[in-house]
Amino acid sequence: MAEHNELGKNGEELALLHLKSLNYEILATNYKAGRDELDIVARDGQMLVVVEVKTRGSAFFGEPETFVSRQKQRTIIRAANHFIERKNFFGETRFDIVSVLVTPKGNQLNHIKDAFYPLV
């Protein structure tokens, strides 16, 4: 497996541990909807939470969360709609980003709730 894939997998594991520590119920990881994929789908109480995990080994080019472009948000929203329809979910949905920096000095995790909203 390529080094960047290992880094991403490590970041997703750290994000899962973080969400579980907050008592989120993990519903799915790496949920595929055609070409689109959701990193983590969870419940926070009655709220469905779709979590995009961005992991980097350095913040040299910017914080990891800045790499969730508007186009990436569209693909996440499209996959979330697929999940919601498939699971017949009725309720509120929130889109979060968990930003992970994995460096030799240690890991930094930033959980951004309501990181973006679907366009109407």
Question: pLDDT tens across 108-118, in order?
Answer: 999 999 999 98
Q: Where are the domains of the chain?
A: 3-116
Residue that wins the pLDDT comparison between 39 and 4: 39
Given a cut of 70, whether residue 4 has pLDDT beyond it is no
Mind listing the pLDDT tens digit for each residue in 19-40? Answer: 999 999 999 999 999 999 999 9
In the structure encoding, which two tokens stand for residue 1, read together? 């497996």
User: CA–CA separation, 114 vs 94, rounded Å?
Assistant: 6
What class does CATH assign to 3-116?
Answer: alpha beta
